[in-house]
Amino acid sequence: MLVHDRAGAYASSRRERRTPRRLATSDREDTMAVMTPRERVWATLFGEPVDRPAVSFWGHFYHRESSAADLVDATLEHQREFEWDWVKLNPRKHYHVEDWGVRYRYSGRAGEKPVLASWPIHQPEDWLTITPRAPDRGALGEQLDAVRMLRERLPESVPMIETVFTPLAILTEMVDEPGALKLHMRTHPHAVRGALEAVTATFEPFVSKIVERGADGIYLATTDWASRNLMSADEYRTWARPYDLRLLAAASRAPFNVLHVCKPRNLLFEFTDYPVKAFSYDATNPTNPTLDQALARLPGAVMGGISHEEALQQPGIEAVMAEVRRGFEQTGGRRWLVAPGCSIPPRTPAANLKAVRAAVEALSSDAATSPSASPSRANPP
Q: Identify the pLDDT of residue 352.
A: 94
pLDDT in tens, 174-196: 999 999 999 999 999 999 999 99
Sign of CA dihedral 114, 143, 245, 167: positive
Q: Is the pLDDT of residue 375 over 80?
A: no
Q: Determine, yes or no, domain membership for 310.
A: yes
> What is the domain range of residue 299?
40-369
Residue type, 70: D
The number of folded domains in the chain is 1
- Report the DSSP pairing between strands 87-89 and 160-165: parallel
Calpha distance 233→175 (Å, rounded): 23
Q: Determine, yes or no, domain membership for 238.
A: yes
Residues 231, 244 contacting (CB under 8 angstroms): no
Q: Identify the pLDDT of residue 135.
A: 98
Q: Determine, yes or no, domain membership for 309.
A: yes
Q: Identify the pLDDT of residue 316.
A: 87
Q: Identify the pLDDT of residue 1.
A: 32
Calpha distance 73→149 (Å, rounded): 9
Residue 28 Cα distances to 31, 37, 56, 131, 261, angstroms: 5, 14, 22, 50, 32
Q: Identify the pLDDT of residue 23.
A: 47
CATH number where 184 lies: 3.20.20.210
Q: Is the pLDDT of residue 20 over 70?
A: no
Q: What percent of the chain has pLDDT over 90?
A: 83
Q: Determine, yes or no, domain membership for 8.
A: no
Q: What percent of the chain has pLDDT over 70?
A: 87
Q: What's this model's pTM, rounded to 2 decimal places?
A: 0.89
Q: Identify the pLDDT of residue 355.
A: 93
Q: Is the pLDDT of residue 37 over 50?
A: yes
Query: Which residues partner with 281 through β-bridges?
Result: 261
Kindly report the backbone phi and psi dihedral angles of residue 141, in degrees, each rounded to the nearest multiple of 5, phi listed first: -60, -40
Q: Is the pLDDT of residue 26 over 60?
A: no
Name the band, by pLDDT with cuts 50, 70 and 90, for residue 5: very low
Q: Determine, yes or no, domain membership for 6.
A: no
Q: Identify the pLDDT of residue 21.
A: 52
User: Looking at residues 271-292, what average pLDDT do you find?
Assistant: 98
Q: Determine, yes or no, domain membership for 15.
A: no
Side-chain half-sphere exposure of 304, counting CA atoms within 13 A: 29
Q: Is the pLDDT of residue 229 over 50?
A: yes
Q: Determine, yes or no, domain membership for 58.
A: yes
pLDDT in tens, 309-334: 899 999 889 999 999 999 999 999 99
Q: Determine, yes or no, domain membership for 21.
A: no
